[in-house]
């Protein structure tokens, strides 16, 4: 299943804007850049995987894992934000469970989880 186009950050300008104007949250395996944008109706995500992570097979495996995590948990996040996820070198050796645990922790720190309605 492909990652939907309307959920992707596709332009270099948007990546740069998130990196410059957004807030960065650092973890052991991931860096998460967050930028609120009221003009965006949906949540948009981009992944930056550099050659420092390893060869193409390694970089693609990391991207697949991160996309899978986002597809499982993306509905629990607030809309109207740009997210840029940058795996660190240690992410290549991390398990999927460890990446998901850190993803949840970074999202919690950024305050992007949807607020549960109180009865």
Domains and CATH numbers, the chain: 5-109 (3.30.230.10)
Q: Could you give the CA distance from residue 7 to residue 1 in angstroms, rounded to a whole number?
A: 14
CA nearest neighbour of 84 among 116, 58, 110? 110
Coil, strand or helix: which one is 15?
A: helix
Q: For the segment 28-74, what is each residue's pLDDT rounded down to a tens digit?
A: 999 999 999 888 888 889 999 999 999 999 999 999 999 899 888 87
pTM given for the model: 0.87
Q: E strands, 1-119, where?
A: 23-26, 30-36, 44-47, 81-87
Q: Could you give the CA distance from residue 23 to residue 83 in angstroms, rounded to a whole number?
A: 10
């Amino acid at each position: 299943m492909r990652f939907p186009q309307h959920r992707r950050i596709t332009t270099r300008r948007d990546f740069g804007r998130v990196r410059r104007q957004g807030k960065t949250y650092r973890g052991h395996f991931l860096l998460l850049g967050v930028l609120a944008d009221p003009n965006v109706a949906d949540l948009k995500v981009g992944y930056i995987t550099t050659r420092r992570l390893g060869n193409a097979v390694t970089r693609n495996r990391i991207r697949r894992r991160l996309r899978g995590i986002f597809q499982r948990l993306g509905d629990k996040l607030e809309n109207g934000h740009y997210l840029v996820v940058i795996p660190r070198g240690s992410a290549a050796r991390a398990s999927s469970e460890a990446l998901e645990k850190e993803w949840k922790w970074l999202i919690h720190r950024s305050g992007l989880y949807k607020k549960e309605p109180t009865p």
